[in-house]
Structure 1
Amino acid sequence: MRTDSPRLSRPATFVRAFAIACALFFLFPRHAHSQIHPTVSFEVASIRPVAGGESGGEGGTRSQIETTADGLTMRNIDLSEMIEWAYKLQHYQLSGPNSLAGSRYDLRAKSGDHVAESTLRLMLQDLLATRFKLQLHREQKKTSVYELVIAKGGPRLPKDKSATIPPSYPKETFPRVVDGGFVFQNVSLGDFAQQLTEIRTIDLPVIDRTGIPGVYDITLKSAASALLDPSGPSILTLIQEQLGLKLVSAQDLIEVVVVDRFEPPSAN
C-alpha cells in the first residue's frame, strides 16, 4: 500500500527556508571571499627613471632595497630586481627578455600604516601589474645547482647581528669589492647564496641548505682578486677555508617565474 509523504504548508515551507538561509549567513560571513583574494596596494608610489646610473636616492650606482616604517624604497634598480623582490625569487628563478634589465629606476612607495614585509611584497606585485602592465606565469624545472652546506669542522661565521640591527635596514643585491675581497653586508645565508649566484665564476644557482639563521657582515678575502688569477685558489676554496661552508653539486626542482609581457611604467 502506498503512503504519500505529508506536504508542508506554504507558511511552514517559508519558515524552514528562512531558517536555512540564516544558518548559511552565519556559517559563511559576507567577507569570506575578500579574505581568500585580498587586494593590497600602496597609498602613493613614485617611479622615476634613473639617467646614466646616477640614483636620486644617494647619487650612487649600486642597487639598494630598503623597507621602512611606512613603505618601500628602491634605488637604482631594474625591473628584474623589482620582480625578484616582489615575488621573493632568486636571480635564477626569473626568466624573461634581456630588456627587463634595460632601464633603472628609483622607487618610493608609501603604505600609509606600518605593514609586514610580506604585505609590502604583495603591494609591489600590485604596483608592477598596474604601472608596468606586468604579466607572468610559473613553471617547474629540474636543474643543476650548488647547495651551500656546512663543511667538516663547522661554520666559521662572523658574529650574528640580527639582535642589534634595526628593523629597517638597506640591502644590496651585489657584494662590494674591498681590498681585493668581496664584502656581503647585512645578509642572511640565503642572501649570501643569492649574491654568490651573481659572481661570474659560479655558473650555477646557489641554494642555502645550511639551516643557519641570522644576519651577518661577511668578508671573503681575496675573492675578487681570485677572479683575475686562475692559478690561485678558487672562490669555492676560499668559502670553505674562511667560512667553514662549502658548495656541493646537486640536482634540484625549482620554480621559475616567466615574464610574458610588460611595458615601460606609466606616469606618476
Structure 2
Amino acid sequence: MTPFAMPISAQTRTMPPATAPQSATTQQADAQSATLPPTPAFDVASIHPNNSVHTARTHIYSYANQGHFIAINATPMQLLQYAYNLPGSRILGLSGWATSAKYDIEAKSGQALVDRLAVLPYPDAKDQLLKMVQLLLADRFHLAAHRESRELPVYELVVAKGGVKFSPVKDGPKHVVDSNSRAGNVSMSITSSSHAMNDLAEMLYRYTGRVVFDRTGLTGIYTISLTFTPDDSRSAVPDTETTSSVDASPSIFTALKEQLGLELKSSKGPVDVLVVDHIDPPTEN
C-alpha cells in the first residue's frame, strides 16, 4: 500500500495544540527558544498502515535535537499517549478503530528548524518535538481535543501494615532518579532524594494507569529501589511483548509491599484528562 506522504499544511502550523507541561529547564533556554516558531511543525511526514500481526511490538523513536520522529506499528491511541505524555486511562473519547488500527510514521523537520533545535537542551527540544507530534496528529488525523478535570479512580500511596522497609539516609540530597527495563522486568531507583515519595508516586503513575498521590507522610532523605513486572496494557506506551512467568518479577502491588512496605489504595480524585472531540483515519487529503 502506498504511504501517505505530504508536507505539513501551513494552516496547521497556526493551530496551537493542547500543550504538555513544559520542563523545568525551559527558562534556561529562553534565548535559544525565542528563535523557534510558536508552534514549529515537521516539514514532511509519511504515514501508512501497518498490517503486520496483531501481537507485533510497537516502537516509537524520537530524535528531539534533530526534529525527527519515527513510529512503527503504533495505534492512534499510542501516538496520543506519546504526544501528550499520558497513559491511556487519561485519554477519553476515542472510537474503537483508534485503539486497533496501526500505522508506520516518519516525520522530519526542515534544516532551519533542525539547526535551531540542535542548540536547545534536550528536555526543551523534547517539549518542542511533542508539540510537533500533536500538530502532526491535528493535520493528518484531523485531531481535535481539549483538556479538562474529571473525578476518576486514583491510587493513594500509603505505608503498609508492619511499616516501611527502608530508613532515612545520612547523605546530603542528590536526587538521582532512574528507571530501566530488561527482560520484561522494570527496575526503579531513587537515590538520596528529599522528596522520594513524590518521586516514587510519579514513577508509579506510568505503570498503574492512574494518578498516584503520596499519602505516606514520610519526610527526610531516602534511597529506595523497586523491581516488578508491569502490566503493559497500562503503561504510557504499551508494549505487546510478553515475558516468561519463570523470569518475571512480582506485580507492582506485591513488589511495593514486599520490598518497600508500601501499598496502593484505590480512591477517587480530580484528574486532568485529554478528551478527544474528533479524530479520523489519515488520508491523502
Smaller-chain TM-score bracket: 0.5 to 0.7
Describe the shift of the 1:139–1:162 C-alpha distance in structure 2 as closer, same or farther (beyond 3 A).
Answer: closer
Shift of 1:254: 0.7
Describe the shift of the 1:191–1:110 C-alpha distance in structure 2 as closer, same or farther (beyond 3 A).
Answer: farther
Shift of 1:155: 5.9
Deviations 1:168-219 (CA, angstroms, capped at 9, x unpaired): xxx9xxx88x5xxx5137898545432233xxxxxxx2426499xxxx9964
- State the distance in 1 between where 2:251 and 2:156 align: 17
Mapped contact 1:77–1:104 kept (Cα < 8 A): yes
Which residue does 1:126 correspond to in 2?
135
**TM-score when normalising by structure 1:** 0.57
How many positions carry a matched residue from both structures? Answer: 196
- State the distance in 1 between where 2:187 and 2:253 align: 19
Which residue does 2:150 correspond to in 1?
141
Which residue does 1:38 correspond to in 2?
38
Which residue does 2:186 correspond to in 1?
184
Describe the shift of the 1:221–1:102 C-alpha distance in structure 2 as closer, same or farther (beyond 3 A).
Answer: closer
- What RMSD over aligned residues (CA atoms) do the two structures have, in Å? 4.2
Counterpart code for 1:83: L
Counterpart code for 2:272: E
Which residue does 2:212 correspond to in 1?
207
Q: 2:164 aligns with which of 146, 153, 157?
A: 153
Which residue does 1:220 correspond to in 2?
228
Counterpart code for 1:48: H
Which residue does 2:6 correspond to in 1?
none
SS of match in other structure, 1:41 = coil
Q: Does 1:84 align with 2:63?
A: no
Mapped contact 2:48–2:104 kept (Cα < 8 A): yes
Deviating more after overlay: 233-242 vs 126-135? 233-242
Counterpart code for 1:124: V
Shift of 1:46: 1.9
Mapped contact 1:183–1:217 kept (Cα < 8 A): no
Which residue does 1:20 correspond to in 2?
none
Mapped contact 2:186–2:230 kept (Cα < 8 A): no
Q: Does 1:266 align with 2:268?
A: no
Shift of 1:64: 2.5
Over the matched positions of the two proteins, sequence identity in percent amounts to: 32
Deviations 1:116-157 (CA, angstroms, capped at 9, x unpaired): 11101110111001000111222221122113467642569x
Shift of 1:78: 0.7
Q: Does 1:62 align with 2:62?
A: no
Which residue does 1:27 correspond to in 2?
none
Describe the shift of the 1:248–1:109 C-alpha distance in structure 2 as closer, same or farther (beyond 3 A).
Answer: same
Deviations 1:213-250 (CA, angstroms, capped at 9, x unpaired): xxx996426999xxx9xxxx975233321355421233
Describe the shift of the 1:194–1:150 C-alpha distance in structure 2 as closer, same or farther (beyond 3 A).
Answer: farther
Shift of 1:253: 0.3
Which residue does 1:117 correspond to in 2?
126
Mapped contact 2:143–2:279 kept (Cα < 8 A): yes
Q: Is the radius of gyration larger for structure 1 or structure 2?
A: 1
Deviations 1:23-47 (CA, angstroms, capped at 9, x unpaired): xxxxxxxxxxx99x92210122222
SS of match in other structure, 2:263 = strand
Describe the shift of the 1:221–1:145 C-alpha distance in structure 2 as closer, same or farther (beyond 3 A).
Answer: closer
